[in-house]
């Protein structure tokens, strides 16, 4: 404090000076705390900026350019977006992606929820089953794809052997346009269910037992407890699961690439495969970037719709 401090001569100001010093000390402490906190955050923020935000902005910039590998990018405005509107392949691969999403999201959600409910109660063998159900998550998608390809083999695959041993008709699985998407979906669902089961299980176990006990005392049966107690209280978890599932399925790529390469006859050719091929096979980075931006907007919009839906139904509750 300077000597010009008007409060210096005032009696009793000592306490106030002390207070302001304390205040400043606190500010210094806080500042230091903030600096420390930011330093701890720094690696993460840097990583996010360098590996997520940066590439996203770059993709946006590229989407306004015509950039082949063999020359410098050239600004073309919205041309790439205009091409998207006229490109039948974009529409077709988007259609397949939506079809995939419509199969994937409900299947994974209901199955993982069902398994979570079954495994909530402490019972003998539950840990065993949880481990079993979670195992596919720990497996590399490429390994899983290879393994399932053998199981789906129309000639000597395990699945057809099982079907025919009980007298059911066999399928060509990945070798037929009508069953290829189903095959890919089965693998994707199998691979994801365990992970979302764990999340939903944690959500269910977070629900205080008092509620379900009270409901039981009031005479609610198991279905009623599930429908009117667990489901509403599980809403935030369900919201999270559905958002992540939708994002994952709109970006489906690796298991399809491993299992069918988008075939047979394009039956499993999704939007992300098209984006990948445009960029890395055809070296058309601008157009590929534009499609990636459109996909991003769709994912973002879908997430917003889900936020809205869950908020409005919260209000109704």
Partner 1 sequence: MRRLPVLLSVVLVGLMALSPALAQEQTLKFWTFEYAEAVDPFFEQYVEEWNATHDLKVERQEFPWAQYTGEILTTGIATGNAPDVFFISPGDWRRYAEGGLAMPLQDYIPDYLQEDILPASWDAVTLNDNVYSLPFEMEPVVLWYNKTMLEEAGVAVPTTWDELLSAAQTLTTEDRYGILIPTNPDYYENFVFYPFLWMAGGEVMNPDFTEAAINSPEAAQALDLWGTLVREGYAAPNSTGNDPVDERFPTEQAAMFVSGYWVYGWIKDNYPDFLEHLDVAPIPAPAGKDLQTVYGGWTVMVYADTAFPAEAAEFAIGLFGAEDNTRAAEWGIKYNTKLSPRASVIADNEEFYSQFPHDVFAKQIFPTARPEPSYPPEIAQAVWEAIQDTMFNGVSGADAAAAAADKINSYLLTR
Under the rule (CB under 8 A), what is the footprint of partner 1?
Answer: 32, 35-36, 39, 42, 68-70, 145-146, 149-150, 152-156, 172-177, 258-267, 276-277, 279-283, 285
Question: Is the separation of the CB atoms in 288 and 204 below 8 Å?
Answer: no
The three state secondary structure string of 148-204 is HHHHCCCCCCHHHHHHHHCCCCCCCHHHCHHHHHHHHHHHHHHHHHHHHHHHHHHHH
Q: Is the Cβ of residue 63 or residue 174 nearer to partner 1 in the bound state? A: 174
Q: How far is the CB of 250 from partner 1 (least distance, A)?
A: 21
Q: In this complex, which beta carbon is closest to partner 1, that of residue 40 or of residue 300?
A: 40
Residue nearer to partner 1 on the CB measure, 101 or 183? 183
Question: Are 226 and 117 a contacting pair, CB within 8 Å?
Answer: yes
Nearest to 191 by CA among 238, 237, 141: 141
When the beta carbons of 39 and 217 are compared against partner 1, the nearer one is: 39
Q: Which is nearer to partner 1, 9 or 39 (CB)?
A: 39
Shortest CA distance to 97 belongs to which of 269, 262, 264?
269
Q: C-beta of 17: minimal distance to partner 1 in Å?
A: 22
Cα 298 to chain centroid distance, Å, stands at: 14
- 174 touches 183 (CB < 8 A): yes
Minimum distance, C-beta of residue 280 to partner 1, in the bound complex (Å): 4
Q: Are 184 and 268 in contact (CB under 8 A)?
A: yes
Separation of alpha carbons 285 and 278, rounded Å: 7
The distance of closest approach from Cβ of residue 36 to partner 1 in the complex, given in angstroms and rounded to an integer, is 6
CA–CA gap between residue 154 and residue 156 (Å, rounded): 6
Closer residue to partner 1 in complex, CB, 53/132? 53
Residue 146 Cβ vs partner 1, minimum distance, rounded to whole Å: 6
- Minimum CB–partner distance for residue 307 and partner 1 (Å): 34
């Amino acid at each position: 404090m300077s000597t010009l401090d008007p409060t210096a001569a005032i009696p009793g100001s000592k306490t106030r000076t002390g207070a302001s010093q304390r205040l400043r000390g606190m500010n210094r402490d806080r500042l230091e705390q903030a600096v420390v906190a930011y330093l701890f955050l720094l690696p993460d923020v840097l990583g996010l900026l360098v590996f997520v935000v940066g590439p996203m902005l770059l993709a946006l910039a590229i989407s306004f350019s015509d950039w082949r590998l063999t020359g410098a990018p050239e600004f073309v405005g919205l041309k790439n977006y205009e091409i998207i509107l006229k490109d039948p392949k974009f529409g077709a691969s988007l259609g397949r992606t939506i079809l995939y999403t419509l199969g994937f999201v409900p299947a994974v959600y209901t199955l993982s929820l069902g398994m979570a409910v079954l495994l909530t109660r402490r019972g003998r063998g539950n840990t065993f089953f949880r481990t079993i159900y979670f195992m596919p998550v720990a497996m590399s998608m490429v390994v899983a794809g290879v393994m399932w390809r053998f199981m789906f083999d129309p000639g000597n695959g395990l699945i057809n052997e099982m079907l025919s041993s009980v007298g059911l008709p066999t399928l060509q699985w990945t070798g037929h346009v009508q069953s290829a998407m189903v095959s890919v979906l089965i693998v994707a669902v199998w691979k994801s269910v365990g992970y979302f089961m764990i999340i939903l299980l944690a959500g269910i176990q977070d629900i205080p037992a008092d509620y379900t006990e009270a409901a039981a005392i009031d005479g609610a049966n198991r279905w009623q407890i599930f429908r009117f107690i667990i489901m509403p209280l599980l809403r935030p978890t369900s919201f999270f699961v559905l958002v992540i599932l939708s994002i994952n399925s709109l970006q489906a790529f690796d298991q399809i690439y491993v299992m069918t390469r988008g075939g047979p006859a394009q039956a499993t050719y999704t939007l992300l495969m098209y984006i990948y091929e445009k960029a890395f096979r055809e070296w058309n980075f601008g157009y590929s970037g534009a499609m990636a931006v459109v996909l991003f907007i769709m994912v973002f919009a879908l997430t917003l719709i889900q936020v809205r839906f869950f908020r409005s139904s919260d209000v109704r509750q």
